[in-house]
Amino acid sequence: MLKFSYPNAISQYTIPTLPNIDYYIDCPLDQLIEIEKIASEINTNANVLLVIGVGGSFLGARAVIDACTPYFRTNNGLQVLYAGNNMSGTYLKQLITYLDTKEVYVNVISKSGKTMEPALTFRVIKEYIERRYKDKSRHRIIVTTDRENGPLKQIAIKEGYRQLIIPIDIGGRYSVFTPAGLLPIAAAGIDIHMFLHGAKHARLDFSNDNIQNAAFQYAFTRYDLYNQGYSMELLASFEPRLNKLHEWWKQLFGESEGKEHKGLYPSTVNYSTDLHAIGQFIQDGSRIMFETLLHFKELEEDIAIPFTLEDIDQLNYLGGSSMNQINATSKDGVALAHALGGVPVLKIELPKLDAYNVGYLMFFFMKACVISATLLQVNPFDQPGVEAYKQKMNELLQENIVTKTN
């Protein structure tokens, strides 16, 4: 199962009562059945699913889909695209031009139903879908939102869209195991039962009964290093398809811990790419960070390095080795070099990159995050700081409207 290691002894901390997140992964059976039914319908009638959402309303799904989909192709012929996570008019315009050549379903996901980016995007896309699919458009849009509240809920009721519910007490960054994550993941051809099964296994392994378990040890180690003066954690992986899992992790820890002027800054690197970009700083720059190396041992495909007669590039000594073996060795080299450079190196290792282990890992991180925030004595579930930019942007937009109308 998941193995966490850190060579230096760490302090054990006593923690007050932890908030319970165990039920976050208990999506009711009737909803799972509905999700699989809709996913199958999408695959029958479309070759693109457009997921509209921002932050926790798309990062979890995108993380799992990227991690569990082969490079350069899809699992089942359905391409999942994303919108409503930026405010680029160019992106939206060019997206619509692309959609013109495809058969499209839309899943708009917003718990509050009023976040600016997805709301604006949905307004544009709704009009597009209505223009294109006319009286059939209603079937092409699935809304995932709160059970009762919010403008998106009202639109869904008015238009008769199918609705999936994000439970009121599960916040966006913790919602990947709810319909917010599960519909896009299922539509992308990933086994949601294996994904949930992995999370449920993690729930057992990381229970509060034994604080020697990896989730507590990871949280204690981070907190220990934070108290020693480290201000940044770098999550590092060696597989490009984990990039979006990094983004999800960044939001999870950043929004949960970064408040009241506390918290580790969560940053991520993709190796070996970033060793040739930011590697210099990590090895030798300001000593502000520790590093967490994330590694999946078994990957589904690999390729061998060929021998050549002339050996002009002098790489014959690696002939016959596989690329993944060399990648794994580079991980060990990074760990040794960075530790020598004064960067504490933590390791998280999982047996295989698949839906089960990704579900397991995501619950591990969620649990460790709640423990970490509790140690810091901050609320793991709110994000009051995000409101400041929204307020300023709204003031400016209102001013702009006044200018336009005068």
Q: Among all residues, which ones are annotated catalytic?
A: 255, 276, 390
Residue 257 contacts ligand F6P per CB under 6 A: no
Shortest Cβ 115–ligand F6P spacing (Å): 3
> Are β-strands 141-145 and 104-109 bridged in parallel, bridged antiparallel, or unpaired?
parallel
Number of residues engaging ligand F6P in binding (CB under 6 A):
14
What residue type is 171 in one-letter code? G
Q: Does 295 bind ligand F6P (CB under 6 A)?
A: no
What number of other Cβ atoms are within 10 A of residue 106's Cβ?
A: 26
- Mark residues 95-114: x for contact with ligand F6P by CB under 6 A, - for none: ---------------xxx--
Region label for 112, one of left (φ > 0), alpha (ψ between -120 and 50) or beta (otherwise):
alpha
CA distance 232 to 78: 38
Site string for ligand F6P, 115-144 (x = CB under 6 A): x--x--------------------------
Q: Which of 21, 54, 170, 214 binds ligand F6P (CB under 6 A)?
A: 54
Strands, DSSP E only, in 110-212?
141-145, 162-165
Give yes or no for residue 386 binding ligand F6P (CB under 6 A): yes
Per CB under 6 A, does 255 bind ligand F6P?
A: yes
Among 43, 57, 137, 357, binds ligand F6P (CB under 6 A): 57
Q: How far is the CB of 175 from ligand F6P (least distance, A)?
A: 8
Whichever of 125 and 293 has its CB closer to ligand F6P, that residue is 125
CA distances from 64 to 59, 196, 240, 330, 401 (A): 9, 12, 13, 25, 40
Computed on alpha carbons and rounded to an integer, the radius of gyration of the chain in Å comes to: 23
Alpha carbon distance 223, 292 (integer Å): 13
Nearer to ligand F6P (CB atom), residue 55 or residue 167? 55
For the chain, how long is the longest CA-to-CA vector?
77
Query: Binding string to ligand F6P for residues 150 to 189, with x set by CB under 6 A, is what?
Result: ----------------------xx----------------
Type of residue numbered 307? F
Q: Which alpha helices (DSSP H) does 206-322 contain, by range?
A: 214-227, 243-257, 279-284
In the bound state, the residue with its beta carbon closest to ligand F6P is 172
107 versus 357: smaller Cβ distance to ligand F6P: 107
Q: 386 — phi, psi (to 5°)?
A: -70, -25
Contact residues: ligand F6P, CB under 6 A: 54-57, 110-112, 115, 118, 172-173, 255, 383, 386
